[in-house]
Amino acid sequence: MKIDYDAIVQASTRISAHINTTPVLTSSALDELTGAALFFKAEHLQKVGAFKARGAINAVLNLELSERVNGVATHSSGNHGAALARAAKIVGIPAYIVVPNNANEIKKAAILSYGGVVIECESTLEAREEMLAQVIDKHNAMPIPPYDHEDIIVGQGTAALELLRQVPSLTRFVIPVGGGGLLAGSSIAAMQTESIQVYGAEPAAADDAYRSFQSGIRVKSHTPDTIADGLRTTLGELNFEIIKDNVTDILLVTEEEITDAMKLLWTRLKQVVEPSAAVTLAAVIRYPELFNNERVGIVLTGGNIDPDNLPF
């Protein structure tokens, strides 16, 4: 399929009955702190507690019946796995989810709650892919990658499309980047509005997207060490090609900055978000020259955090 604005519009219609239209939140205190007008797209209030619900249900609904019959499979640090398990449950098929053995326990519990089958493996990307190949071979399930997939990219882009419809005249987007599905999809949605500059936000301790963007050559493996567990994945191939053409820059933030931003979102915006969502506010605070006096759309990507394992 073609990954373009029209495909995102079509996906928005396709998935509308199965997702929440999430609200946009504002905070005068955070506006004053950053010198910008911030509009937070509350995807942590989405089904399964993350934007991943969009891409997963879009991908499953787009499968032919013959492709669904033996179920679906993926590897995931948590949110995509839960989203795919939910999407599979909606259409009545099994979902096999390979997760790293250091995955967030709350996220694993969510996968199980939607009827997904959890298969654990070592925490490297290579181990995930090897185990997933075994699962697909055993069950003849249809693979639905967590980010490097046309239907996933298009589905994730519906969050930005929705935000643009809710808040006119945005001049900046700030989107977390791990595998890059949300950033790629958001950048395509933003292309219809020439005034918007799209920035990716990434932990400096998981900077493969930044290094890929700077060099023009995709980093294919790295060893992330960040509290933002949803951003530990390696940038996808399809996603990188879109990102390098459409995104203005990738902005790095430290672990301390992520934690501080997360505290602000909890205490000022009164929203329970995970570290992966907080990288966006951290980037706006760290790079004021890019955002001062701008109207900034920020996607709060997820809220699935273990309350017994907070970074503060």
Q: Which of 12, 27, 76, 77 is catalytic?
A: 77
31 to 171, 288, 293: CA distances (angstroms): 15, 12, 9
Kindly tell me the number of DSSP H helices and DSSP E strands found in the chain. Answer: 14, 10
Q: Which residues contact 284 (CB under 8 A, 6 or more apart)?
A: 34, 36, 38, 174, 290, 291, 296, 298
Read off the tokens for 57. 């249900």
For the question of residue 52 being annotated catalytic, the response is yes
Q: How far is CA 142 from CA 67, 120, 135, 154, in A?
A: 6, 19, 10, 18
SS3 assignment, position 298: strand
Whether 77 is catalytic: yes
Distance from C-alpha of 186 to C-alpha of 153, rounded to nearest angstrom: 9
User: Helix (H, G, I), strand (E, B), or coil: what is residue 94?
Assistant: coil
Which of 52, 186, 212, 276 is the catalytic position?
A: 52
Distance of CA 84 to the CA centre of its chain: 13
CA dist 15 → 10, 86, 157, 234 (Å)? 9, 13, 12, 27
Pairing of β 24-25 and β 37-42? antiparallel
Nearest in space to 57 (alpha carbons), one of 163, 187, 152: 152
Write the single-letter amino acid at 179: G
| Secondary structure element (H or E) that encloses residue 248, with its range | none
SS3 56: helix
Cβ proximity of 152 and 81 under 8 Å? no
CB neighbour list of residue 215: distance below 8 Å, 6 or more residues apart:
none
Residues with a catalytic annotation lie at 52, 77
